[in-house]
Amino acid sequence: MSALCLVGAFSFVSCSDLDDAPDNRTEIDSVDKIQKLLTSGYPAAVPALLCELSSDNLVDDNVVVAATHNDAYADFHEQAYAWEVIDNYSTGEDDTPYAVWESNYQGIAVANHAIEAMLAMSKDPANDRELAHSWGEAHLLRAYLHFVLVNVFAEAYKDEARSSQDVGIPYVSEVENTVNVDYSDPKFRKSVAEVYRLIEQDILEGIDLIDDSKYIVPAYHFNRNAANAFAARFYLYKRDYEKCLKHANAALGSTPVLRNWKSINKNTIQTKQNDYNDEKQSWNFLLQATYSLQWRMLTDNARFAINTGITFKGSDGKTWRIPSSLDATIWGSGPNWSGTLPAFSGMVYINRAGQQYGAWLFRLYEYFEYTDKIAGIGYVHQIYQPFTADETILCRAEAKLYMGDRDGAIRDLELWTSSHLVTDALTLDKIKRKYRRDTSNNDFISDLHPQEMGFEKVLEGDDLSVLDCILHFRRIETIHEGLRWFDIKRYGIKIYHHYRDAHEDEIHTDSLTWDDPRRVLQIPDNVIQAGYPAGPRDTGIGGGTSGGYQMPASKNTQLELISDKQEDEE
């Protein structure tokens, strides 16, 4: 039996002489060490901020609020909102394309080293009593991180034929021992279809091997529920609805238990946040600790925010209407509730600049880790929820709808509204009234292009209204998480952005159509320079690494709740 060795946290090499390993190397030669190694593979960067800026969840307050001329919190935020190639960021910044790219591929490297170590320890790790669970976790982790990367840095999955023509991302399934990798090698030039096939292969390799008893804190690993929720989302995006339903059922169980909003302690924002992120609660399938400045972007600057809309006249004489993303997400009505969603009562905050500069849901509030309390500096952390019971049931509802079970889909949607403390029953008639397509000013429906995006089945009539409801609920459920951007991509949803630079009076308007190449975030420039194809976007110049950098504690302590809005039932 041989062993592998590890240098530092993420820089990996093979060792030719294990008897004389340098002091800073750790041999990966036991089950315990493999499990600890895999713990370090969950990335500290997520694309949530980039995806929120790219989506229709945020608006430019320089347009919405009269006489406002704020700079962006970071220059690359403005580029992301304008759907430009993001090149204006520097080493150490969080939430950048490079931070997402690097952090995810570091996690993939961890998974690959764990897999190689297990192969060195056993001829058949999948059937080894001691190693099988870690073998499963490593493959699930590798699959998920590639899934995130392909959905950010490539086209959405369309169908086998069209996605075989779309450039994907490198699928790395081997330990890399070369410093300068030649990414022009065909083995790295995977199409979107090929990446999806390899993701599925890894899911199938690992999902049945997960053993929750092996984890100390299952919610921070791919436990069985998280693995099945991931598989459900993957098959939903791939439009294999039977498999989506199978895995959603496995994650949710025969009697789904969704988040208990009544149990959240409202005494302080910290108690709310701690209850929401409680790793012991069954509805939190997977939690991810990250470095992110998304809360500060929404509060300390408020250039881009979840805000009310406005109607204005452009320089071309055309009248433009900006929908209220606040009403469409965390502060608006629904098919069977009026005013604020009951679960969000006392949960929506505004920043110190005032309600006219937007709002945010309490769960985005940051955790600050002091490294020097006297100097007031430390690390900013946020907890994200990649998979929850509440989002998985919406995946299941969508799968049921496409499989012809509209009533079943509505029952799942009613479970979601009930868990959010809505007392009125959800019916098809209420859904049809809310998601009317007889007006261009219905902020709760989207301009969908499923046929152009490769959908074999295009929903119409009542089924289309139910789909609009599902997309609306998912937009609410995943606010701040970035999944709205993935729905925009996979359904070809047309969205508009209106923006004005801090130093000009001219308001710019732009739209993103289903076939716009700007739906793909450009990969970092150093990867392009290494020979990997740039894809449909013009080549940009990326920044450096990001692992969370020390910064002052936020001075934004004047938190204020938005009072609940009351509306008549539509």
Residues across the chain: 570
Lowest-confidence pick of 200-204, 386-390, 493-497, 548-552? 548-552
Of 436 and 569, more confident: 436
Domain extent at residue 56: 4-253+283-561
Beta-strand pair 319-322/310-313: antiparallel
Half-sphere exposure of 564 (CA within 13 A, CB side): 14
Angle, nearest 10°, between helix axes 461-477 and 406-419?
30
The confidence band for 315, taking pLDDT boundaries of 50, 70 and 90, is confident
Tokens representing residue 50 in the block? 């980039």
Mean per-residue pLDDT, 82-104: 89
Q: Other C-beta atoms within 10 Å of 253: how many?
A: 11
pLDDT digits (tens, 9 = 90+) for 116-172: 999 999 999 999 999 999 999 999 999 999 999 999 999 999 999 999 999 999 999
| Distances, alpha carbon 119 to alpha carbons 15, 21, 39, 259, in Å | 16, 20, 19, 40
Of 414 and 534, more confident: 414
Q: What is the pLDDT of residue 97?
A: 93
Q: For residue 47, is it within any domain? A: yes
Q: For residue 265, is it within any domain? A: no
Q: What is the pLDDT of residue 9?
A: 32
Q: What is the pLDDT of residue 188?
A: 77
Q: What is the pLDDT of residue 540?
A: 38
Q: What is the pLDDT of residue 293?
A: 93
Q: What is the DSSP letter of 95?
A: T
Lowest-confidence pick of 22-26, 94-98, 321-325? 22-26
Q: For residue 568, is it within any domain? A: no
Closest by alpha carbon to 41, among 93, 97, 91, 105? 105
pLDDT digits (tens, 9 = 90+) for 399-423: 999 999 999 999 999 999 999 999 9
The confidence band for 545, taking pLDDT boundaries of 50, 70 and 90, is very low
Q: For residue 269, is it within any domain? A: no
Q: For residue 420, is it within any domain? A: yes
Given a contact cutoff of 8 angstroms between Cβ atoms, the answer to whether 192 and 150 are in contact is yes
Q: For residue 203, is it within any domain? A: yes
CA 515 to chain centre: 22
Q: Other C-beta atoms within 10 Å of 342: how many?
A: 15
Is the pLDDT at 539 greater than 60? The verdict is no
Given a contact cutoff of 8 angstroms between Cβ atoms, the answer to whether 45 and 291 are in contact is yes
Given a contact cutoff of 8 angstroms between Cβ atoms, the answer to whether 362 and 351 are in contact is no
Is the pLDDT at 383 greater than 80? The verdict is yes
Is the pLDDT at 173 greater than 80? The verdict is yes
Query: Which helix H or strand E contains 108, and what residues bound it?
Result: helix 97-121
Q: Other C-beta atoms within 10 Å of 188: how many?
A: 19
**What φ, ψ does residue 359 adopt, rounded to 5°?**
-145, 170
Number of domains in the chain: 1
Mean per-residue pLDDT, 248-265: 97
Q: What is the CATH number of the domain that holds 59?
A: 1.25.40.390
Average pLDDT in the chain: 89
Closest by alpha carbon to 384, among 7, 21, 83, 95? 95
Closest by alpha carbon to 57, among 446, 513, 334? 446
Q: For residue 259, is it within any domain? A: no
Q: For residue 350, is it within any domain? A: yes
Q: Where are the alpha helices (DSSP H) in 278-405?
A: 294-296, 325-328, 389-402
Q: What is the pLDDT of residue 4?
A: 33
